[in-house]
Amino acid sequence: MSLTDQPLLALDGIDKTYEGGKKPALDRVSFQVAKGEFFSILGPSGSGKTTLLRMIAGFETPDRGRVVMDGEPITHVPPFKRDVRTVFQSYALFPHLTVQGNVEYPLRMARARHPERAAKAMEALALVDMADYAERLPHQLSGGQRQRVALARAIVCRPRVLLLDEPLGALDLRLRQQMQHTLVSLQKELGIAFVYVTHDQGEALSMSNRVAVMREGRIAQLGTPEELYFEPASEFVAQFVGRSNLIPLTFQSGDDGPVAVIGGSRFPRLTSRKSGPARLALRFEAIRVAPASDGEGDLAGVVEDVLFLGTNLEVNVRCEGLNLIASVPAARTNELSRGQPVNVTMDLSNARVFHG
Amino acid sequence: MRGSSMVDQSAAATGMTAPVIPRPRIARLVNLPVWIWLVVIVLLPNALLIGCSLMRISNGFIAFDPSLVNYQRLWGSSGFWTLLGRTLKLSLVASGIAALVAYPLAFFVGRIVRRNKALIVTLVLVPLWISLLMRVFAWRLILGQSGLLNSFLVSSGVLDRPSEAFLYTSASVILVFTYIAIPYIFIATLNAFEKLPQSLLEASEDSGASSLQTFLHVVWPLTRRSLAIGVSLAFLITVGDFVTPSMIGGIDGTTIGVLISSQFGMANNWPYGAAVAIVLMLCCGAIVGLVMAACPQRGVLLGDEGARPASGAPSARGRWLKIGGMTGVFAVILFLYAPIALMAFFSFNDSKMQLFPLAGLSLRWYFDLVHNDGLIVAAQRSLIVAFFVITFSTIVGTAFALLLHYGRVSGARFCEFAIALPIAMPGVVLGIVMVLGTEMLRIPSGLVRTVVGQSSFVLPVTMMLVLARLRRLDPSLLEASLDLGADKLRSFLFVLLPLIRGAVASGALLGLTLSADDVMVTLFLAGPSQTLPIWVFNQMRFGFTPTVNAVFTLLAVACLLIVVAASRIGGRLGRPVAQNDA
């Protein structure tokens, strides 16, 4: 919230329960989005993130709480009077209008004059590299192209907030990566605040200034991608953001307070103020694996299987009744194979311990 | 024909699953039945109609002497042009009024109603299944000189004596045509409104469009084609209807259908009647073409636009819209059912007069039925005809659908269109076309001729229903079955048949009501062996007996039972009609 004093968009204590629903879809959700910020809402399906987006767009009204834009409450302002545009998950291109007709649509609704309309539409299409397709109808485009047209239609009026509802969900991997770059540079260029809904943690981490992680209608954690990654506030966040082993352990009283015991081994490096059972969240890349012959490690184990992922390998090691997954750079680990005895070393600098 | 249809079906499956292996020569012959039907039932009779219109009548016989004399006579006849103009005007005005009622109604039911939606849809569509004759007759009961409207107005002091102004006018024909047209337009447009993805409406609103703008720029362009189809359907059905004008219209309401039917009946001048029919067909084609051109369709709904159900934000405006809409729905349903209910009511009246208050309740008209030999025979005949028509149409229609879908018939689209042509022909024209066709094939008038004539429009309905179902099927289901080791026959029996069973059954039930109700075509074909509707029609022409009320009430109850059965078996009741021209 460092960019300006007054947030561009603020949600304040939003509650929403759908008719006939038992659990609330949104439960006391509050957050603020600054001008020109790339804000992501990350969560598994059913966590309430799309409901949240529809509330900002004006398609849903909260049971309680308010939506404020630039200091003005807009909770009950209808969608067509909000300076907010949405890129729909399904693109929602009008099938009977050409690409240009689709992009001109909001300008037409704003009663812009014809030459101005065409010029602005072509400009927006040029921004997403679709100017050559202006005369086509939506069904004559590929999925990626439709996506770009939907984006052009949403930004042609330069709204203050752009909402994106899993816009890359239907694209293949290569297109998705390409579009991520397009989105980030477009956002920088236009200075529009983006509110981006996704269930893909990779997309959220790579593009956003800040991310709100949703779980069952509540915000589980809100922070920068680095904060979420390195300091997850809960097991849920630790598992949902990045890839973590969750290792059960117990803290037993020792000379300098409670000390961690994993399997049967003591870890004097890992201490806590509380004794008792707990779980350790440890990123895949915080575990190193070396052949048993290379000397000592924290734990001894046997390789169960190895997945080759290109830049790195994921090694599943069985040790002391636990399965640990380590992510190791691909080049160095040709020596690892199934059934091989290994030693595992844990980098505990970014590990998080959750009691209870 | 029926024996060979099983072969056709398995051969149809072959066509789909053998893309690489060249098919044996015999496999190409499976298309043959489709082409035979096309030529014998559709193309030949229509060619005969054109041929006949070029003939001349001399001494009561058709003389082979090709000339344009009939058309010259038409051209010079101002009476004909007046009649043609009036016929087209009556149907167009009625279809237009019905569109004004049915389109908003379909919008409301398709997009806003959530609870009891299926019930409302069924209620609006059931009149389609109830005998046309009965609905027309019910209106006579209301509008006639000794009818309910008059007796009400006289007894309440508005009029001094019964007026003739209600029955036998253009307005009364328009009223009844509108009554007939509403369910057709409703079902055609309902489908379009239901298919409209919610996300498109939201995207429009999100782009800053008000409700009116969203309607003009998104909803209307995406639904106008369906409205055009519904209006065309209603137009074609009413324009070919000579029963309504002859019973309701009087002199001012006479239409060209009455003229054509009289040329093939009393006046006995077939060539002249054929020429009139051809001019009528050309006019209908032009009008339908204009309606379609006025409502162009652009773009294709891809199905990935998303179809989230409408969000139930209860705004004050939404509440008023709902109340207004429900009032409209009730008004339309009342309009559709009041005449039928009144007729059922009077069937229990212990008097020959159709007046309130009732003379007393009695079942005497029903007892009269039992002792009426003419009626019993006619009813039996109707059942026999319906049995053969639906057995034949269901089996062959299903086989044709499978062939057209899987059999890679060359020109499948053309075949489908041409086979469906009889549905789109004005009823009176189809009637005389079938007379010419069966006359040529030396089929004597009577039961066989009636069965052939009715099959010409029942079979396409069955075929279109099954085709529509096949097109919605996931094609990989059949591939999965073959992949899992089932041969073609067993794939058909265990996978395809259960999936299309609902469509086949509802096609058969729809065929039953179409066959059992038909007057327009059967009247020309039945000769002395009258089916039930023809018998009733003749009774009504000779004078009124309250027995007719009882017959119709029983028929309506039978129709309702069939509708309930059909909806149990599955599938939306009205779909078939909407897909006729789609």
pLDDT tens-digit readout, B187-205: 999 988 988 888 898 899 8
Nearest residue, CB atoms, B206 vs list A19, A79, A170: A79
| Tokens standing for residue A112 | 């812009």
Write out chain A residues lying below 8 Å of B302, CB-based.
95, 138-139
Query: In this structure, are B331 and B372 located in the same domain?
Result: no
Q: Do residue B206 and residue A86 have CB atoms under 8 angstroms apart?
A: yes
Supply the DSSP symbol for B100: H
Q: Distance (Å, rounded) from C-alpha B292 to C-alpha A253?
A: 85
Q: Is the pLDDT of residue B63 over 80?
A: no
Q: Which of A54, A56, A59 should we substitute to test contact with B (largest number of B Cβ atoms within 10 Å)? A: A59
Q: Distance (Å, rounded) from C-alpha A219 to C-alpha A235?
A: 14
Nearest residue, CB atoms, A139 vs list B197, B204, B299: B299
Q: Is the pLDDT of residue B67 over 90?
A: no
Q: How far is CA A201 from CA A90, A207, A212, B38, B568, in A?
A: 20, 10, 11, 60, 47
Supply the DSSP symbol for B349: B
Distance from CA of A138 to the nearest CA of B (A): 7
Q: Specify the pLDDT at position B554.
A: 85
Length of chain B counted residue by residue: 582
Q: Which residue has the higher pLDDT, B261 or B220?
A: B220
Mean pLDDT on B9-37? 55
Contact between B544 and B537 (Cβ < 8 Å): no
Q: Do residue B222 and residue A95 have CB atoms under 8 angstroms apart?
A: yes
CB under 8 Å to A230, separation ≥6 — which residues?
A: A350
Which residues face A218 on adjacent strands? A215
CB under 8 Å to B57, separation ≥6 — which residues?
A: B63, B268, B269, B270, B271, B272
Starting at the edge strand that comes first in sequence, how are the strands of the sheet with A244-254 ordered? A265-271, A257-262, A244-254, A276-283, A352-355
Mean pLDDT on B159-171? 75
Q: Is the pLDDT of residue A8 over 80?
A: yes
Q: Distance (Å, rounded) from C-alpha A228 to C-alpha A241?
A: 7
Q: Specify the pLDDT at position A164.
A: 94
Confidence of residue A223 (pLDDT cuts 50, 70, 90): very high
Q: Specify the pLDDT at position A256.
A: 74
Phi, psi of A312 (to 5 degrees): -145, 175
Of all residues in chain A, the percent with pLDDT exceeding 70 is 97
Nearest residue, CB atoms, A109 vs list B213, B299, B306: B213
Of all residues in chain B, the percent with pLDDT exceeding 90 is 25
Confidence of residue B578 (pLDDT cuts 50, 70, 90): very low
Query: In this structure, are B184 and B285 located in the same domain?
Result: yes
Q: Is the pLDDT of residue B446 over 50?
A: yes
Q: Do residue A88 and residue B202 have CB atoms under 8 angstroms apart?
A: yes
Q: 3-class SS at A141? A: coil
Write out chain A residues lying below 8 Å of B312, CB-based.
19
The residue written with tokens 């009647």 in the block is B273
Query: In this structure, are B187 and B214 located in the same domain?
Result: yes
Q: Tell me the average pLDDT of chain B.
A: 81
Q: Specify the pLDDT at position A269.
A: 83
Q: Is the pLDDT of residue B166 over 90?
A: no
Q: Do residue B206 and residue A93 have CB atoms under 8 angstroms apart?
A: no
Task: Supply the range of the domain harboring residue B134.
Answer: 87-298+317-345
Distance from CA of A320 to the nearest CA of B (A): 44
Tell me the domains of chain A and their CATH numbers: 9-240 (3.40.50.300), 244-355 (2.40.50.100)
Which residues face A265 on adjacent strands? A262
Nearest residue, CB atoms, B302 vs list A84, A85, A95: A95
pLDDT tens-digit readout, B256-289: 888 888 888 777 888 898 999 999 999 999 999 9
Q: Do residue B207 and residue A109 have CB atoms under 8 angstroms apart?
A: yes
Distance from CA of A221 to the nearest CA of B (A): 29
What letter represents residue A18's amino acid?
A: Y
Q: Distance (Å, rounded) from C-alpha B400 to C-alpha A252?
A: 79
Confidence of residue A5 (pLDDT cuts 50, 70, 90): low
Taking only Cα atoms into account, the Rg of chain B, rounded to an integer number of angstroms, comes to 25
Does residue B78 fall inside a structural domain? no
Q: Do residue B299 and residue A97 have CB atoms under 8 angstroms apart?
A: yes
Total number of domains in chain B = 2
**Chain A residue set in contact with B, beta carbons under 8 Å:** 19, 54, 57-61, 78-81, 84-86, 88-97, 105-106, 108-110, 137-139, 153, 157, 170
Lowest mean pLDDT among A184-188, B28-32, B64-68, B265-269: B28-32
pLDDT tens-digit readout, B412-429: 888 888 898 898 888 889
Closest chain A residue to B216 measured between Cα atoms? A109
The residue written with tokens 């073409």 in the block is B289
Q: Specify the pLDDT at position A60.
A: 87
Q: Do residue B207 and residue A61 have CB atoms under 8 angstroms apart?
A: no
Q: Specify the pLDDT at position B229.
A: 93
Nearest residue, CB atoms, A92 vs list B200, B208, B209: B200
Does residue B353 fall inside a structural domain? no
Alpha-helix runs per DSSP H in B363-411: 364-370, 373-406
Q: Is the pLDDT of residue B125 over 60?
A: yes
Write out chain B residues lying below 8 Å of A162, CB-based.
none
Query: In this structure, are B162 and B202 located in the same domain?
Result: yes
What percent of the residues of chain A are helix, what percent strand, and what percent coil, each to the nearest 5? 30, 35, 35
Q: Specify the pLDDT at position B543.
A: 66
Mean pLDDT on A57-73? 91
Supply the DSSP symbol for B125: H
Q: What angle (nearest 5°) sits at the alpha carbon of residue B547, between those of residues B542 and B549?
A: 100
Q: Distance (Å, rounded) from C-alpha B314 to C-alpha A143?
A: 35
Q: Is the pLDDT of residue B544 over 80?
A: no
Query: In this structure, are B223 and B110 located in the same domain?
Result: yes
Q: Distance (Å, rounded) from C-alpha A90 to C-alpha A87?
A: 8
CB under 8 Å to B350, separation ≥6 — which residues?
A: B358, B359, B360, B361, B362, B364
Contact between B181 and B98 (Cβ < 8 Å): yes
Q: Specify the pLDDT at position B459.
A: 94
Query: In this structure, are B179 and B259 located in the same domain?
Result: yes
Q: Residue B239 maps to which CATH number?
A: 1.10.3720.10
Query: In this structure, are B23 and B92 located in the same domain?
Result: no
Q: Is the pLDDT of residue B447 over 60?
A: yes
Residues B336, B339, B340, B341: is their CA dihedral positive or negative?
positive
Q: Do residue A59 and residue B221 have CB atoms under 8 angstroms apart?
A: no
Instruction: Name which of B147, B101, B532 is nearest B336 in CA terms.
Output: B101
Query: In this structure, are B580 and B449 located in the same domain?
Result: yes
Write out chain B residues lying below 8 Å of A58, CB-based.
205-206
Burial grade of A196 (CB within 10 A; 0-12, 13-18, 19 or more): buried
Confidence of residue A258 (pLDDT cuts 50, 70, 90): confident
Q: Which of B114, B201, B206, B295 should we substitute to test contact with A (largest number of A Cβ atoms within 10 Å)? A: B206
Which ipTM was obtained for this model? 0.77
Lowest mean pLDDT among A88-97, A206-215, B84-93, B449-458: A88-97
Most confident stretch, A25-29, A78-82, B117-121: A25-29
Nearest residue, CB atoms, B206 vs list A57, A89, A90: A57
Does residue B75 fall inside a structural domain? no
Phi, psi of A327 (to 5 degrees): -105, 120
Q: Specify the pLDDT at position B9.
A: 39
Q: Specify the pLDDT at position A146.
A: 92
Q: Specify the pLDDT at position B305.
A: 52
CB under 8 Å to B28, separation ≥6 — which residues?
A: none
Confidence of residue B456 (pLDDT cuts 50, 70, 90): very high
What letter represents residue B55's amino acid?
A: M
Nearest residue, CB atoms, A139 vs list B208, B210, B302: B302
Contact between A175 and A142 (Cβ < 8 Å): no
Burial grade of B391 (CB within 10 A; 0-12, 13-18, 19 or more): middle
Lowest mean pLDDT among A37-46, A61-70, A273-282: A273-282
Nearest residue, CB atoms, B205 vs list A79, A90, A95: A79
Nearest residue, CB atoms, A92 vs list B305, B311, B312: B305
Q: Do residue A96 and residue B199 have CB atoms under 8 angstroms apart?
A: no
Query: In this structure, are B424 and B381 located in the same domain?
Result: yes
Closest chain B residue to A101 measured between Cα atoms? B217
Query: In this structure, are B108 and B45 located in the same domain?
Result: no
Most confident stretch, A108-122, B244-258, B356-370, B508-522: A108-122
Does residue B304 fall inside a structural domain? no
Q: In the A/B pair of chains, how many CB contacts fall below 8 A?
A: 99
pLDDT tens-digit readout, A157-175: 999 999 999 988 878 888 8
pTM value > 0.90: no
Closest chain A residue to B224 measured between Cα atoms? A96
Query: In this structure, are B130 and B194 located in the same domain?
Result: yes
**Chain B residue set in contact with A, beta carbons under 8 Å:** 197, 199-200, 202-210, 213, 217-218, 221-222, 297-302, 304-306, 311-313
Query: In this structure, are B328 and B367 located in the same domain?
Result: no
